[in-house]
Amino acid sequence: MSTVMTTKERLAIDRIHMAELDADSRSRNFDEVNRGLTPEEAVREAQRCIRCTNRQCVAGCPVGVSIPEFITALADGNLREAARILTRDNALPAVCGRVCPQETQCEAKCVRGIKGEPVAIGYLERFVADWATTNAAELGDEPLPPSTGRRVAVVGCGPAGLTAAGELARKGHGVTIFEALHDTGGVLRYGIPEFRLPKTIIDAEVARLLALGVTVECNVIIGKTLTLAQLREEFDAVFIANGAGLPVMLSIPGENLKGVYSANEYLTRVNLMGAGRDPDSTTPIIAGKRVAVIGGGNTAMDCVRTARRLGAERAMIIYRRSEEQMPARVEEIKHAKEEGVEFVMLTAPIAIGGDKDGWVATLRCLRMELGAPDSSGRRSPVPVEGSAYDIAVDVVVNAVGTRANPLLTATAPELELNRWGNIATDDNGATSVAGVYAGGDIVRGGATVILAMGDGKQAAVAIHDWLNRR
């Protein structure tokens, strides 16, 4: 049917809006906010793709998903084929369909976006990936390539490591992922909340990799349990993707008071350990009635929306620039606002005050105004003289960023680092040590899930070439 549609007919279809849980009820539970498309909606949206020849959407995707092909298969109602194409190109499509900033990547390049709204590529990816999970039996097992007899160690089970593992396993290499925590997924598990990415999705994506023969060993900390040198003896190549999980401190007075959390601690307690979310969890959390989250990125949005769900009456974003300059996705900001989050803009914290028992009581802030543009063209915030005031709070969450964790590199002096302590690599992810590659946040500093996945995919190609040359 869709094959006979004209471009004009395709252009006449309006972009779908995905159903969401009602803001009032969802802001008090951890259920997924975005509900996904119905099969009818998905096919209709897929028909909006005009199958243009320049395929700019693919260039906008860091892992190079064959977007027009999977969308065409979907528009034709051939879900098996759509799933086959999508899972071939992307190790974690159900994750990407949910957390990628499509508005700045594939969808930003869609030609339909020039005169109207781009095709909802992310929604379609999510739909097909979820279909593939639900219908895994119908899809059958992917045929495995013959074993090359080569073994590759992957350090870290986050998005970069999982992607590289999938790519390498598909090329016939034996892959073992070493993960420091007790569960898989890295930031997908401990960082991104259940209401954006249900943990069952990660389990399903990891299961797909296990079916490809990938081994995951949790509770192994490379740099402590085993050194990089030991991995190099045991494996033919190594891919390091252990992330940037080291919180940057606020470095203001009062940071050690009870009730002050780093975003990593706050989110890890809730997401990985189930604090305040899973009735069977024994990990506690100080939920807070008045919670101030400092920062303007997606992590800050995750923290503040979590605070609402843990029962906060006032959940505030404290950001020193203005809303237009926030690095968070527009959708996250919108969702947070709908859920009752207060946005306190052009405000910088200068001290945290405590009560006599050592608990957080106030956040002392300065009002800011935007000054002249700096060398990068961005207008820097400057404090307004005499504007200091206190906000009453009982929990403060620091979401200003993370840096490279030196746990591995401290015991691997052979690895060259850059001046930020990140692992230095060439354009293919090769480090200063032959056969050792790196990617994701340990190379880039705190970045996005999809960029980490792109690194994993690219490094896997380079590792495969390197193994073939030996």
Partner 1 sequence: MFDVISNEVLAPNLHQLVVRAPRIASSRQPGQFVMVRAEAGEERIPLTIGDADAAAGTITLFVQAIGASTRRIVAVPAGGRLRDVAGPLGLPTHIRNWGRVACVGGGVGTAVLFPLAKALAGAGNEVTTIIGGRSARYIILADELGALSRELLVTTEDGSLGVQGFVTHPLADLVADPARRPGAVFAVGPVPMMRAVAELTRPHGIETVVSLNPIMIDGTGMCGGCRVLVGGEAKFACVDGPEFDGHLVDFDNLADRLATYREAEAGHVCRVSGKEAA
**Which positions touch partner 1 (CB under 8 A)?**
180-182, 218-221, 224-227, 245-247, 249, 255-256, 258-259, 261-262, 264-265, 268-269, 273-274, 278, 280-286, 357-358, 405-407
Least Å distance between CB 134 and partner 1?
25
- Reduced to 3 states, what is the DSSP secondary structure of residue 340? coil
Least Å distance between CB 282 and partner 1?
5
Least Å distance between CB 288 and partner 1?
12
Please report which helix (H) or strand (E) contains residue 352, including its range: strand 347-354
Which is nearer to partner 1, 246 or 461 (by Cβ)? 246
Asked if 139 and 83 count as a contact pair (C-beta separation under 8 A), the reply is: yes
Which is nearer to partner 1, 133 or 264 (by Cβ)? 264
- Reduced to 3 states, what is the DSSP secondary structure of residue 69? helix
- Reduced to 3 states, what is the DSSP secondary structure of residue 234? helix
Of 48, 60, 50, 53, residue with least CA distance to 109: 60
Which is nearer to partner 1, 83 or 442 (by Cβ)? 442
The burial class, CB within 10 Å (0-12 / 13-18 / 19+), for 13 is middle
Which is nearer to partner 1, 340 or 354 (by Cβ)? 354
Structural tokens at position 71: 């969308």
Which is nearer to partner 1, 227 or 325 (by Cβ)? 227
Asked if 107 and 118 count as a contact pair (C-beta separation under 8 A), the reply is: yes
How many residues comprise the chain? 470
Asked if 24 and 73 count as a contact pair (C-beta separation under 8 A), the reply is: no
CA dihedral 15→21→27→31, nearest 10 degrees, is -110
Which is nearer to partner 1, 93 or 274 (by Cβ)? 274
Least Å distance between CB 31 and partner 1?
20
CA dist list (Å): 134 to 79, 202, 205, 418? 12, 14, 12, 44
| Euclidean distance between CA atoms 144 and 159, whole angstroms | 22
Least Å distance between CB 116 and partner 1?
43
> What order of strands is seen across the sheet that includes strand 260-262?
260-262, 395-398, 290-294, 314-318, 342-344
Asked if 268 and 371 count as a contact pair (C-beta separation under 8 A), the reply is: no
Asked if 387 and 366 count as a contact pair (C-beta separation under 8 A), the reply is: yes
Least Å distance between CB 313 and partner 1?
19
DSSP at 378: P
Of 150, 359, 376, 371, residue with least CA distance to 261: 359
Least Å distance between CB 423 and partner 1?
16
DSSP at 147: P
Asked if 123 and 97 count as a contact pair (C-beta separation under 8 A), the reply is: yes
Least Å distance between CB 231 and partner 1?
12
Which is nearer to partner 1, 398 or 425 (by Cβ)? 398
Structural tokens at position 33: 């906010």
Which is nearer to partner 1, 326 or 404 (by Cβ)? 404
Least Å distance between CB 259 and partner 1?
8
Which is nearer to partner 1, 96 or 181 (by Cβ)? 181
Least Å distance between CB 154 and partner 1?
17
Which is nearer to partner 1, 118 or 193 (by Cβ)? 193
